[in-house]
Structure 1
């Protein structure tokens, strides 16, 4: 059973291996973006905000080890789950990869199916909300498999955009997101969408969540953005 789409950034310069990994992760329900370049990977991390990275040690330009080191130094990517994928199987190499910040280390040749399973294990350990089939917070329940939402046992009807908004909030309760951050994360193609569009869908989400009564769970933070907060004050 698929548990919802997660974003994978694959950094691998062997085309055949990249295609193989992409095939298996796509079949497992991931959205996969691939690049052979460490420099491009640094740009893509900011653009697509991946939930997981599979990173080859020996890549074009910046090495995988150096890329991992740079990502761990940045607050925005310090906790990004990273699996190192490499032909370097010596113990010292594995230790170096893990000490640099990799969450797991897979040596080539490898089983693509095992890699997918290990990726799921890393997500469950590092970012459990992404590996869950059910998200819940303050009486809200989102069944990712059935695509259903309930509040205090009452069904909530949401449009596709409101559903994506709520899911993002439920995966990050209490965290404040700016309109620009929400636009980049929730809208697949946000280039031609105005920031005020976020406000419109936030209002729709509020109305849907309040259909059966109860406190407003969406907090407005002046000059900052919105968050899902059980102590929300509009």
Structure 2
């Protein structure tokens, strides 16, 4: 699985160069940046990559940037930091980091962490397009189409819809939806209800009687994939009978 692209965002030029050299020796494709501003244009494309992120960058809030990556891309994130207190590690993981490595660290441990995260790309195998017939979600471009028409969503609405779609029709609690969509808002469960209402206004024929995004009593919410499949089947033209084909 050496075809994975890795983007190193590290403020220390010597460490940045050292990490890049070891990753290239392991046959990874590597890009290096010394700041968030330098890296962001390359990461906005939404490609599936592994990001090595320095938590102590001087040009911006690394935790906020980590959260941005977690919400608006499909990247995995390995956070590096000189801060090793439990509170710092928890903050990094809550911001969306998939792993956290405290400086200084050994290169063998670093490479082992990278290899472990790389295996997750194989295991998850996230598609770039979720196709449910009438509903299509383009993860790379963060666009949604319903019955062939583009529907505009805020970044928060898109994240929530993506989490619902990932659940494959299984009902998720408000807490689980909140944890997956916006981990920084973990204490405000009403955020889910507000954004579910917004999704229904944009996706449902009658938002007051929702059929696509269903409320499951005592559980939470689910995406009604069966409805999409039924609508998709009805939209497929039926083949002509032998009699009809002769008349045509």
Q: TM-score, normalised by structure 2?
A: 0.48
The structure with the largest helix share of the pair is 2
Q: Tell me what 2:108 maps to.
A: 87
Unaligned residue ranges in structure 2 (runs of 5+): 1-6, 21-31, 44-50, 52-65, 67-76, 228-248
The Cα of 1:153 is off from its aligned counterpart by 2.0
The Cα of 1:149 is off from its aligned counterpart by 0.6
Instruction: Name the CA distance, whole Å, in 2 between partners of 1:103 and 1:219.
Output: 39
Instruction: Name the CA distance, whole Å, in 1 between partners of 2:159 and 2:219.
Output: 20
Q: Tell me what 1:127 maps to.
A: 124
Q: Pick from 206, 215, 219 the counterpart of residue 220 of structure 1.
A: 215
Unaligned residue ranges in structure 1 (runs of 5+): 1-7, 9-13, 60-84, 106-118
**Alignment RMSD (CA, Å):** 4.6
Q: Tell me what 1:34 maps to.
A: 80
Matches for 1:139-158 after TM superposition, within 5 Å: 139-158=134-153
Rg comparison, structure with higher value: 2
Instruction: Name the CA distance, whole Å, in 1 between partners of 2:151 and 2:141.
Output: 13
3-state SS in 2 of match to 1:104: helix
Q: TM-score, normalised by structure 1?
A: 0.50
Instruction: Name the CA distance, whole Å, in 2 between partners of 1:187 and 1:148.
Output: 19
* Count of residues in correspondence between the two structures: 168
Q: Tell me what 2:131 maps to.
A: 136
